[in-house]
Amino acid sequence: MPMKKLIQPFIDIVFPHTCACCGKGLGDHERYICRWCRVSRFDEAIADDKVILPNNVMFVFSMWQFDKGGYLQDLLHGLKYNFLQEVGEELGYFAGRDFLDKADPDLLQTVEAKSPLLIPVPLHKSKKRTRSYNQSRALARGFSRATGWEVIQDGIIKRVKKTKTQTGLNTKERNENLRQAFVIDHQFISDNYFPIVIDDVFTTGATTFELVNVVANDGSKAGIVTIAKS
């Protein structure tokens, strides 16, 4: 019998499998987030007609409504700062399944007619050194597992501007803070793909809209997918 099978029962006693969201024990077919948290704890994202999308953004999809001070905020904070890559991939997978289930069939047909390419929002190199990984790329890997769509190669798009935190900034200040924050490899041809920007939270859209300006220009379109909408 493999050594892992021999010691696994003892590992489970000392380090029990618990939900990364609520802390309760996980069932046999649950990996990092329990079914109750995934299905029942969070509200679906609320559509906001006040958000005016740029011409190059075809859609914005968010899975859940952000709960300031709640379980989802804690979960996304842990994803960002506590190196929860596996949790990020699971959240991305849930978002991918949710998107396929809820997206308008005509929209899906339009997206899939032109090779969908997942674009995780890149981190500035200083933040990546501090966190050691990019949570948006973990989300994109999970989304890719659910949809079968490709994730853009790391390094093609870079965040070259070290922006200050967006917290407390109004929309105009957020836009200015993100202006020219991203650059793209000149050999990348966006017309060959349908870019879908992946991030954790959609607030005003300043970050994702700025990234869309880099990956979708000259009249092309892009989409945006996030786990939560604030």
pLDDT surpasses 60 at 16: no
Q: Provide the pLDDT for residue 103.
A: 94
In the chain, at which residue ranges do the beta strands (DSSP E only) sit? 57-65, 116-120, 150-151, 157-159, 182-184, 194-202, 222-229
193 C-beta neighbours (distance < 10 Å), count: 21
Q: Which one is predicted more confidently, 220 or 98?
A: 98
Question: Token pair for residue 43?
Answer: 């509200």
What is the mean predicted confidence (pLDDT) over 10-17? 48
Query: Where, residue-wise, is CATH 3.40.50 in the chain?
Result: 42-229
Mean pLDDT over the full length of the chain: 85
Q: pTM for this structure?
A: 0.86
Q: Provide the pLDDT for residue 201.
A: 94
Tell me which fold the domain 42-229 belongs to: Rossmann fold (3.40.50)
pLDDT in tens, 154-210: 989 988 877 656 665 666 666 666 777 788 887 676 677 899 999 999 988 889 999
Q: Provide the pLDDT for residue 166.
A: 61
Q: Provide the pLDDT for residue 41.
A: 95
What is the mean predicted confidence (pLDDT) over 142-147? 98
- Distant-in-sequence contacts of 10-18, Cβ < 8 A, 24+ apart: none
pLDDT in tens, 41-56: 999 998 877 778 899 9
pLDDT surpasses 80 at 6: no
